[in-house]
A and B are shown apart, each in its own frame.
Chain A
Amino acid sequence: QKEVEQDPGPLSVPEGAIVSLNCTYSNSAFQYFMWYRQYSRKGPELLMYTYSSGNKEDGRFTAQVDKSSKYISLFIRDSQPSDSATYLCAMSKDFGNEKLTFGTGTRLTIIP
């Protein structure tokens, strides 16, 4: 079983829709959960991070973590064509600056 699993998509939704992106993981030692956005042939850009279970909101983005189910989600409200990118979930076990374990990424297209 892979440590982090993410549906690669592609996922296409109309502009203005709510987007739901998800990852599951197998290692219960993961404590910190991040979402990165990656445009084609660019480096990952940090969107949000959360610690342990719970929700975190930042503008149109909401990150959810359910450690009991080993399941994390990113919701994008009022999606815009500029949100079209690959979204990567990433996780680490400790505070500080431990290595990140990434999912494969979900390719998202917002259709105008």
Chain B
Amino acid sequence: EPEVTQTPSHQVTQMGQEVILRCVPISNHLYFYWYRQILGQKVEFLVSFYNNEISEKSEIFDDQFSVERPDGSNFTLKIRSTKLEDSAMYFCASGQAGAPPSQYFGPGTRLLVL
């Protein structure tokens, strides 16, 4: 069964450093998302991406964040200058065109900012 994959599974970084989180969505999906989950809190929407551009972004997704689909398979989230409060689990999700809103999530990248 096709699945969303994410790398790395864990990342530890120093405050102020740049991180890039990578995702490979399900191959025939055209909609891509990033969500985050701070430990003990709910899953929160960050950004959605379709047709090589951002469809929607949340208040969390400020100028420190960017997304890119550099090739036909990868989808990345970059945090330019990490803060302590960026420590969270980051989930990538993908969805099909013309389908009800059922998004499929990857296993997540646990980011720890020290």
Interface residues of A (CB under 8 A from B): 32, 34, 36, 41-46, 49, 51, 88, 90, 92, 94-105
**Which residues of the other chain, A, contact B41 by a CB distance below 8 angstroms?**
104
Chain B residues, CB < 8 A from A105 = 42-43
Knowing A101-B45, A103-B42, say if A34 contacts B106 (CB, 8 Å): no
- Asked if residues B42 and A102 are in contact (CB atoms below 8 Å), the reply is yes
CB of A46 within 8 A of CB of B102, answer: yes
Contacts A34-B101, A97-B50 given; does A43 touch B45 at CB 8 Å: no
Q: Which residue of A lies closest to B95 (CB)?
A: A97
Please determine whether B91 and A99 come into contact, CB atoms closer than 8 angstroms. Answer: no
A99 touching B33, Cβ below 8 Å: yes
A-B pairs with beta carbons under 8 Å apart, 22 shown: A34-B102, A36-B105, A42-B108, A43-B91, A43-B107, A46-B102, A46-B103, A49-B100, A49-B102, A88-B42, A90-B43, A95-B100, A95-B101, A96-B98, A97-B31, A97-B101, A98-B56, A100-B101, A100-B103, A101-B45, A102-B43, A104-B42
B contact residues around A99 at 8 Å (CB): 33, 45, 48, 56, 58
Known: A49-B102, A97-B50, A98-B101. A44 touches B45 (CB 8 A): no
Query: Which B residues contact A (CB, under 8 angstroms)?
Result: 4, 31, 33, 35, 41-45, 48, 50, 56, 58, 89, 91, 95-108, 110
In whole angstroms, what is the CA distance A82 to B42 when docked?
Answer: 22
B101 and A44 form a contact (CB under 8 A)? no
Chain A positions within 8 Å of B106 at CB level: 43
| Minimum Cβ distance to chain A for residue B43 (Å) | 4
A73 vs B48: C-alpha distance when bound (angstroms): 27
Chain B residues with CB below 8 A from A95, complex form = 100-101
Distance (whole angstroms) from the CB of A1 to the closest CB of chain B: 15
**Interchain CB contact under 8 A, A102 and B91:** no
